[in-house]
Amino acid sequence: MGISRKDLKQVIVFQNATDDDLNQIIQNSITRSLEEGEFFFLQGDPANYLYVLVNGQVKLLQTNPSGQQVNLRTIYPRQMFGALGAVREQADYPASAQALENSSALAIKSAFLHEMMETRPYLSFDLMKLMTSYIQEMQSRYRELATERVEQRIARALLRLTVQSGQKVDEGIDLAFSRQDLAEMSGTTLYTVSRVLADWERQGLIRAGREQIHITNPHGVVRIAEGLEK
């Protein structure tokens, strides 16, 4: 049930931590287990904890005033989320974190990690490395959203999911996401996603089912993502 030192060491940000550090972190944490659909935190909540996902799957999303959602990122086990609050004191979460399936995560007190970072350069440095990769990803996605067509962006979303799911690209990839999920990830509507997928299915690139997408021709999807098609 609980998380061990060994598990924690697999987390990128903690890879350079000493055993003693890890023990302290564990002592200042609690484990939270949520059912599918529940939220670890909501956009605007005070960011008192940062989380390390132990198992399950979590999506980070932003909601605009009129309720439309945008999917920022999907979190997989051993990844950290809610970390932005650990940096500034008294910050609020800039996004919400919802469990996509039954999930449990280690909740570390932000204030505690904050304190630790003051004396352990490796910690803020590694966390910063993580942040820079986020920035780069967000910048790229921003550019894509600003300059690319929907079809291309959906293809990119699928490929990103493929990479994150860690499956081999060789022969067929299975992904479990709804049209709505895809739409939120690529900044479009579920209707358009549905039409695009139907089209790809006709071309033999994928086989689509209920909350299920099987990519039969990854190379073809890559070509669309790169904008070589059309």
Partner DNA sequence: CGGACGGTTGACACTAGTCAAATTGAGTGG
Partner DNA sequence: CCACTCAATTTGACTAGTGTCAACCGTCCG
Q: Cβ closer to a second copy: 147 or 203?
A: 147
Alpha carbons 147 and 125: distance in angstroms, whole number = 33
65 binds, among DNA, a second copy, none (CB under 5 to 8 A by kind): a second copy
As given in the structure block, the two tokens for residue 70 are 């945008």
Q: Cβ closer to a second copy: 143 or 214?
A: 143
* Distances, alpha carbon 230 to alpha carbons 35, 140, 225, in Å: 43, 22, 11
Residues that bind DNA (CB under 7 A): 149-151, 178-180, 187-195, 197-198, 208-212
Reduce the DSSP state of residue 148 to 3 states and report it.
Answer: coil
Q: Cβ closer to a second copy: 36 or 226?
A: 226
Residues that bind a second copy (CB under 8 A): 62, 64-66, 68, 70, 72, 84, 87-88, 94-95, 117-122, 124-125, 127-129, 131-132, 134-136, 138-148, 187, 226-227
Q: Could you count the other beta carbons within 10 Å of the beta carbon of residue 97? A: 26
As given in the structure block, the two tokens for residue 167 are 């499956």
Note whether 114 and 67 are within 8 A (CB).
no
151 binds, among a second copy, DNA, none (CB under 5 to 8 A by kind): DNA
27 binds, among a second copy, DNA, none (CB under 5 to 8 A by kind): none
The residue behind tokens 């449990």 is 104
Minimal distance in Å, beta carbon 214 to a second copy? Answer: 27
Among 159, 164, 166, 181, which residue's Cα sits nearest to residue 75? Answer: 164
150 binds, among a second copy, DNA, none (CB under 5 to 8 A by kind): DNA
